[in-house]
Structure 1
């Protein structure tokens, strides 16, 4: 496989047509080696428009979804980011190139260990992987400029929104299969939030978040 041709094709055929047009984001996707964050057995899938299997039944988001979330987050160089759901560490690496500091929470020890190794090899000294249940966020170190959920939830908990700075942004994929939607929530004041629906997609559930009751009376 011609790695650089595959990377170019991913950007031009998958990511750009999905309205990812920010030159800085596109340049970053061309520079960060996604193949280094994919398990060895799945190297051939590194640039394919699909979720890539990880250990313990988890997955990496499809490249176009990762790219679109990154673009919509509009991370600035002075900002601190909290990611929930580290996976292989690739999204955290992208965030690390744009932010001052990234803390990423991963519940599964094996994934946290692998992500930490991947990020160290990539030279991302401003990204910290913590083995933790991210469903409650990280209130002790809040507030954050950006919170990114790298997976889906039924709905964003209020406890996470409370950890945003004024003007801070939270990105998540909300809903139930087969209808899920990526959303951007911006904190406009102490108790004021604005939600923008971004695009339809389907993503694996993040663990630990509440699910709505299936009972109806």
Structure 2
């Protein structure tokens, strides 16, 4: 599959849809307009790529709805050079958005086949995260901590303590919390022991599975 002017036009339309849904961050919208989302999906589903919908990919996972990707990315408030930990590499689409935003991305995926496939694919597209890891997202990546931001791209039944502990002071954790339906939750680390918590409504994610490796 190629990336054409027609695809670029569809991305522009998608960005306009996201503006209509309340996304304001220009750098996030610019990333959505730039990244060829259709290349992250099987060629037979190309027509679905620029609709604002989640879509199934390998290993019973999904490529998140563009609105969800944009919403989480906006909450992170990424500055150029920020160190960001992503829990759930998945298709690599959110990873690419983080790279476009200028983040130094560390990402963990627990599905082996998806990890291998996405690692190759991202470098083909020219996206080079600092570190891609196959492992348990509940544990985070302590060896590279602390992080300016942490984003979790699967539904967590509870907030893993290691993730909170791996945040810098004033760092932001964006995580969907809940079993069947998740509440998008933002934690800002105010001190060694204090976190400010805010909630942003209901979303649906595939579950964040634990100790699978």
**TM-score using structure 2 length:** 0.91
Structure 2 counterpart of 1:202: 204
Indicate the SS of the match to 2:210.
coil
In the other structure, the counterpart of 1:106 is 109
Determine the structure 1 residue equivalent to 2:120. 117
Contact 1:42–1:53 (CA under 8 A) maintained in structure 2? no
Conserved in 1, the CA contact under 8 Å of 2:142 and 2:166? yes
Structure 2 Cα separation of the partners of residues 145 and 193 of structure 1: 14
Cα deviation for residue 146 of structure 1 reads 0.7
SS at match of 1:152: coil
Which residue matches 2:139? 136
Distance 1:49 1:98, change over 3 A: closer
Structure 1 residues not aligned, in runs of 5+: 210-217
- Name 2:95's counterpart in structure 1: 92
Across the aligned residues of Structure 1 and Structure 2, the Cα RMSD in angstroms comes to 1.7
Pairs within 5 Å for 1:60-79: 60-79=63-82
Matched position secondary structure for 1:47 = coil
Instruction: For residues 10-56 of structure 1, give each alpha carbon's deviation from its aligned partner in whole angstroms, at most 9, with x where no partner exists.
Output: 2212x112211111211111111111222333222211222111111
1:141 deviates by: 1.6
Q: Contact between 2:189 and 2:196, CA under 8 Å: does it hold in 1?
A: yes
Q: Which runs of 5+ in 2 are unaligned?
A: none
Match of 2:158 in 1: 155
Q: Note if 1:48 corresponds to 2:66.
A: no
For the 8 Å contact 2:155–2:206, the answer to whether it is kept is yes
- Equivalent residue in structure 2 for 1:6, among 7, 10, 21: 10
Are the structure 2 counterparts of residues 10 and 72 from structure 1 closer, same or farther at C-alpha, using a change threshold of 3 Å?
A: same
The within-5 A match list for 1:184-199 is: 184-199=186-201
Mapping of 1:159-178 within 5 angstroms? 159-177=162-180
Aligned-partner Cα distance in 1 for 2:120–2:14: 25
| TM-score under structure 1 length normalisation | 0.89
| Total equivalences in the alignment | 207
Q: Say which SS state the counterpart of residue 51 (structure 2) adopts.
A: coil
- Does the Cα contact within 8 Å between 2:28 and 2:101 map onto a contact in 1? no
